Chain A
Amino acid sequence: MLTLNGEIMKTKTSSIFTRFDINLEVEKQKVRKVSTDELLQEVADCVAEGDDDEIENIVKNVLKTKSPVKVIDEGLIPGMNEVTRLWDEGVYFLPQVILSSDTMIAGIALCEKRMGKLMEKKGKVVTHTAEGDIHDIGQVIVNALLNAAGFEVINLGADVPVDEVVKACKLHNPVMLTGTALMTTTMTAFPKIAAELKELGLNIPFVCGGGAVSEEYVISFDYGVWGKEASQASAMAEDALKGLSWQEIRNKWNG
C-alpha cells in the first residue's frame, strides 16, 4: 500500500512485475554421503559446511588413523565436489563455495605437512587483472573456484603489466591463462598479451572476462576465449587440461 496525499493506493504488483524466481527456489538439498567411513564423512561434512575453524581439529584427528592421501582423496575433495554440485544445482550461493574452498585448502595444508610434500595439482592456471585496472574481485572469485577444483593458481594480482603476464606464462607454462578487467580501456592489454604469447610460441587458451569485457572484443584476437561468468573458469580449465585447443574451447563456450 502506498500513501499518496493521505489516500491509500492499492498496488497490484502482479500487473507491474513478475518474480519468476520466487517459486522456483530449489528445495533445500542435503549434502550427500560421500564415504561409509564415519571419520572421512566428518571431514567431507566440515568442508561442505565451510567450517574453517573446525577443520584443523577434525583433520588432525583423522590423520591419527588414516593416511593424508586418503584424507584428501576420500574426505576433503569429495566434500568439495558436493559443494560444487550443490552450487551447480542452485542450492548453494557463492560465499558457501568460497568458505568451503577455504576449508578444503586449510585441510589439504595439514595433510601436506604430514606428507612432507605438496599435493599434486591437476595443472597450473595463471590469473591476473589487467594493467591499470584495480578491480579484481572477479579474479579473486576465479582463484577460489580454480583452487576448489584442484588447480594450482599462479595469482599475479591486480594492475599487472603485459610483460609480467607473459613472463609468468613462460615460467609456468600453464594450461590456461585468465585476465580480468572492469574497464574497456584496460582490457586493451589482453590482445597485447595474446600477441606476445603467440610470438613466443606459447599456445595457451586465454580466458578474458569481467565488467565491460565483451565477447566480440575477446574473440577478435587469437587465444582469446570470453568468460561470461567467473563460475565458468574451472570447467574451462578442465577443457584445457583435457587438451582442447583455444579454438575448441572458444567454439564450445563462445558464439
Chain B
Amino acid sequence: MKLTSSMAYKNPQEIMFGKAIKPVITKRGLKIGGGNVIPEIVPHPRPGREKDKGTLIREFERANDDALERCVNVGHPYLVIENEHIYQMTNNPSWGGEIAAQTAHQMDEYKDKYGLIAAYRSTIADIRKPDIVNMRDSDQTRKVFESFNECARHSDIVSIESMGGKEIFDYSIIRNDITGMLFAQAILGGRDVEWIWKQIVKIAKKHNCIPGGDTDCAQANTAMFMAGGFLSKNIPHTLAALCRAISAGRTLVAYECGATGPGKDCAYENPIIKAITGIPIATEGKTSACAHSALCGNVIAAVCDLWSNEAVEFHDMFGGSSAAVFTEILGYDAALMNASVELGYQKQFQACLIASDRYRDPQAFILCPDNAWTIGKAITDNSESCFTRARAAALKCGELILGDPKMMLTAFENKSLLDYLKELDSLPDNEGDFIDICLKKYSKVKGFNPASYGF
C-alpha cells in the first residue's frame, strides 16, 4: 500500500463545508461534497427492541420513516440516514441486510412520491474484539464480512468503526503511555484497517455501493470521552488532542485502500482527512450532544459535507419522535450553511464556526481548518511509514498547541504535553525498530495477539 505523500488542498483557505474535491454520487443521485451540506440522521433503537429480528426491523422502519417524512414536512431537500449496527444486527447478518433493504424501499417510495433524494449508510458493527478473537480468523470476522455483503446490496454507503489496536490502546491510555497509544493506533490499527478495507472495498464495488470510510472511534473517541469536560480528571485534554492527531494516519489507511468517503461522522479526525484526500466527510458536533458531550460543537462543522447527530435513541419527544426532531435540527443547520454559500457569506460563516470554539480546548484548536491542514501536511511530508507519519502528526499537534499563546492550558495539561512530546521525540526513527520495541514491551498485555495483525 502506497502512503499518501501530497495534500489534496494546497492551502487551508480552500477547504469549505459542503464542497469536496472528490464528491461521490449515491444510487438515487445524491451528490455528497458537491456544493451542499446534507443532514445525516442516525437513529438508534430503544433498549429491548433488539430481542428479535421482527421488533428491530419494525423499530428501524418507524425511525427511518419518521426522518424521511419530517424532511418532506419541513422541506429539507436531501437526507442521508445512517443505521449503525447494534451487535445483534452484525452477529445475525441477515438482520442488517433486511433493514437495509427495507430502508432502500422506503427511500424509493419517498423519491417517487415527493422527489426527496435520500441515501442510506449501513455501518457494520466491528464485533471482533482484539483480546477475545483472532481479528483475521474468527466467526466474528466472517460475520462482519457477511454483513457487508448483505448490506452493500441495498445500501448506498457502507462503513465500519474498526477495532484494531484497541487492546493495547486501552491498556496504554489509562497508564498515560503515549508510546503504547501510538503503537496501537498507527501500527496495529493501521495494519488492521488495511487488512479489512481491502476486502470491504471489493465487496462494495461488487454491489455498486460506496465504500464510505472508517473512524478511530474505538481509540481517539475513547480518549475524547475520557478527557471529558473541564472538570474531569481522567486524562489530560492535551493527550486526547495528540491522540486525535495520531488517529488521522490510521483512518487515512481506509482511503489509501480505496474507500472514497463520505467519512464517518464520529471520526473527529475528518477535517485532517479532508485536507489530505479531498474526499467528502461527515462530522458531528453540537447536534451530537444527545449522544455525548464534546468541546468542538461548532468548529467541527467548518469543513463538513454531511452534518450528523452521532446517535439518538428513538423515542417520543414533544415535537415528534427523536428521529424526526433531529432530522429537522440537522436539516436547518445544513440550510443555514447552504444559505451562506448562496449569499456568498460562506467564509464569514465558517469563520464564526471556527472562532466560537478555536480556543475552547486543544481538541477543538487542532481541528480548526488551518491547524488540521498543517497536521495533514506533517502526515504527508513524513510518508515513509504509518509510524513516521503518526509521530509527525502528534509532534506537529503539540507544537501548534504550545505555539499559540491564546490556547490556554492548565499547568498540568501543559506539563503533560511537554512530557508526551519528549517521549515521542525519544522514539527510534525507523518503524521496524519501533515495532520491535513495542512487540516486546507489550507482549504480556492480556489478550494481545500479534498474529491478529500479521506479525
Is the beta-carbon distance between A90 and B358 smaller than 8 angstroms? no
Chain B residues in 8 Å Cβ range of A16 = 355-356, 360
A35 close to B (CB within 8 Å): no
Is the beta-carbon distance between A4 and B348 smaller than 8 angstroms? yes
B231 touches which one: A21, A87, A136, A159 (CB < 8 A)? A21
B114 close to A (CB within 8 Å): no
B426 close to A (CB within 8 Å): no
A99 touches which one: B46, B87, B176, B357 (CB < 8 A)? B176
- B residues 335-357 near A (Cβ < 8 Å) are 347-348, 351, 354-357
A13 touches which one: B91, B370, B406 (CB < 8 A)? B406
Is the beta-carbon distance between A137 and B170 smaller than 8 angstroms? yes
B86 touches which one: A17, A96, A185 (CB < 8 A)? A185
**Nearest residue, chain A, Cβ from B169:** A137
Q: A25-B411, A185-B88 are in contact. Are A158 and B132 (CB under 8 A)?
A: yes
Is the beta-carbon distance between A9 and B351 smaller than 8 angstroms? yes
B233 close to A (CB within 8 Å): yes
Query: How many angstroms between the C-alpha atoms of A93 and B355 in the bound complex?
Result: 30
Q: Secondary structure at chain B's binding surface: helix, strand, loop or mixed?
A: loop
B93 close to A (CB within 8 Å): no
Is the beta-carbon distance between A96 and B48 smaller than 8 angstroms? no
What is the size category of the interface that chain B forms with chain A?
35 or more
Q: List, sorted by A's number, 24 A–B pairs whose CB atoms are closer than 8 Å.
A: A5-B347, A11-B355, A11-B359, A13-B359, A17-B356, A17-B360, A22-B408, A28-B411, A92-B233, A93-B176, A95-B173, A102-B175, A132-B91, A133-B87, A134-B129, A137-B170, A137-B174, A137-B226, A158-B132, A159-B129, A184-B313, A185-B88, A188-B48, A212-B313
Interface residues of B (CB under 8 A from A): 44-51, 86-88, 91, 127, 129, 132, 163, 170, 173-176, 222, 226, 230-231, 233-236, 291, 313, 347-348, 351, 354-360, 370, 406, 408, 410-412
Given A158-B132, A184-B46, A185-B44: 8 more A-B contacts, CB < 8 Å:
A4-B351, A95-B174, A99-B176, A102-B175, A134-B127, A137-B226, A184-B47, A186-B86
Q: Name the 9 nearest CB pairs between A and B, nearest first.
A: A95-B176, A21-B230, A134-B129, A132-B87, A185-B50, A94-B234, A185-B86, A184-B47, A98-B174
Interface residues of A (CB under 8 A from B): 1-5, 9, 11, 13, 16-17, 19-22, 25, 28, 87, 90, 92-96, 98-99, 102, 132-134, 136-137, 140-141, 144, 157-159, 183-188, 212, 217
